[in-house]
A and B are shown apart, each in its own frame.
Chain A
């Protein structure tokens, strides 16, 4: 089962007295356990689409299934619980809680998710995640005591803490230098493979695009291209530059979606 399915989704924003279409007629499915990138220029609608997939925004029309659940039918509290259990978030500005240590930031989603872990199990899980992102020695540091790259590593560990089926990352490398950005992408790629979780990014960073399994291109609120790239093995694959829809390139295959 594909973790995310969008059908005929549309979203408008109200800007003063003017309706501004943000997304129009979106039909797409995100494949499981893949590295999917929503790509497009600024203002194209990729962040809006990511927000809809992450269940932190609602479309004006259409159908949205996440992990088989018709999330638009869920009330706010149920949707919060759903996000806590099934979705992890990585933000462009890291968005760690500044009053919590790295350890506590990773632990916090576990407390929210209601997962039946006792204190020892919770501790082991947090330690393992911090170890996996290479920050076991920074567990007691507050975000203010960490570099940008370290903060994003903590954010990745936090996003994975509840073992979600889907992790969403909104331009996770935008505030990092290229070297740090590359290491973050590498880390996410590694975690995605190890934990067999689906990652969806919004990004126009070439490094992120280079790491993607699937690329969904958006422009002016419409999906213009969907490419499935053969990156099942290897850490730095080259994406096909030719969208299936436009040219039917063999190296890329169309996802179950139309734009």
Chain B
């Protein structure tokens, strides 16, 4: 009759109370795992979104991240194609890479001068084929339905704008944007008119455009020499960007058009070389290798490397917030389990006081009594954790196959509601071990009290 066998029988003796305690543990484990699976899914979803749009890593001109976002002329990378070649041909990096592509971000003013409206915008010049490949990244198996970018197969002067930009530029009608309220009657301002040279540039650019005048805009930006330059763009689509601030500013255009706008006839540059990896787990190795290349092969280039978490601070903020909530829930559940198991074991000690006295009288040491009750707590912990994990897996499966959807912050389309428990070994093992440890700790005090009972007092207990 070993201690585990005896402890199991003692638990079964009062099976109703043991089951109630186990139920509390199961509910606790399920709560922790389902919320953990949910917040883990949000983490993966955010990560996938950022990686699909801006890659895992970006090589940028030194200090561009801090000071250069509005100044592509000063912080451009002139020989970006050489850098891309070096990265793509590097033996260490090559097996990790899915896409290496240049981008050019610029700030400017978009105007629909035929309507007399304009607004500041942020433009992103991209290689559309590369971006389409990046959007296919789905390392976490989300049920995405991949759609090609609206700029796919369009002419070099095509652009996609945010619906907020379309609203201000009075393009909702021509672009057939849904839920886009008609702008009020033109507001006459007392502001100064555009300088004559800008107006002339605009007129010159507009004169060369084909007939699709109702979707035509001009994008004004400073060129590499600090002088204004205008590019005529044909807007093919207005798309919601999920975040209003971005929706009101966003213009996506072909890289060569953006380069032409900023650098004119000079050698084209890029503000970043974007690297997308096969798996996020490769990020530390890839980053280390890139930094080594910057110290060796690309020595002398004023470059630096940033990962997606640095480039998108909201990622850390959101995941941090969910981690804090998860920690709070885990502590709360832990406290509930602590008191539930502690109460169960305390009641068992009181009810079995005579039995404790008997065991001590026939020769069981104090340590044996302590071990018996701690083992009962341990068994409650192990059984409760295992059943809790199984229940959480079953519930997660039901949720994941229930067809539920939700629209995460920053998203436009609703996404399936998913709770990732299966495969999250670290979370499962951590939760199970954590709850078991809590159960053992909560059994420790009653066990200690039982072991310290005087034998004659215990035998006299009524």
Contacts and interface: CB of A to CB of B under 8 A. Distances in A.
A80 B9 contact: no
Determine the interface band of chain B, counting residues with CB < 8 A from chain A: 20 to 34
A99 B354 contact: no
Contacts of A88: 362
Given A77-B366, A95-B355, A111-B1, A83 B361 contact: yes
B363 interface: yes
Contact of B9 (A81, A85, A100): A100
B52 interface: no
B10 interface: yes
B367 A77 contact: yes
Interface string A41-78: 00000000001001011000000000000000000110
Contact of A56 (B9, B361, B367, B368): B361
A56 B1 contact: no
B149 interface: no
A104 B365 CA distance: 19
**Which secondary structure dominates chain B's binding surface?**
helix
A111 B362 CA distance: 11
Interface string A159-203: 000000000000000000000000000000000000000000000
Interface in B332-357: 354-355, 357
A93 B363 CA distance: 18
A91 B459 contact: yes
**Which secondary structure dominates chain A's binding surface?**
helix
A54 B456 CA distance: 10
A89 B454 CA distance: 16
A56 B363 CA distance: 10
A112 B363 contact: yes
Given A76-B366, A98-B13, A99-B13, A56 B360 contact: yes
B456 A56 contact: yes
Given A99-B6, A99-B9, A109 B363 contact: yes
Contacts of A77: 365-367
Nearest to A77: B365
Contacts of B363: 80-81, 83-85, 109, 112-113
B358 to A, nearest CB: 4
Given A56-B455, A95-B354, A95-B355, A76 B365 contact: yes
Contacts of A56: 357, 360-361, 455-456, 459
A158 B1 contact: no
19 contacts: A56-B357, A56-B361, A56-B456, A77-B366, A80-B363, A80-B366, A81-B363, A81-B365, A84-B362, A85-B363, A91-B358, A95-B355, A95-B357, A97-B355, A99-B9, A99-B12, A100-B9, A112-B364, A113-B363
Given A56-B360, A112-B364, 15 more contacts: A54-B361, A56-B361, A77-B365, A80-B360, A84-B362, A91-B358, A95-B355, A99-B6, A99-B12, A100-B6, A104-B1, A108-B1, A112-B362, A112-B363, A112-B368
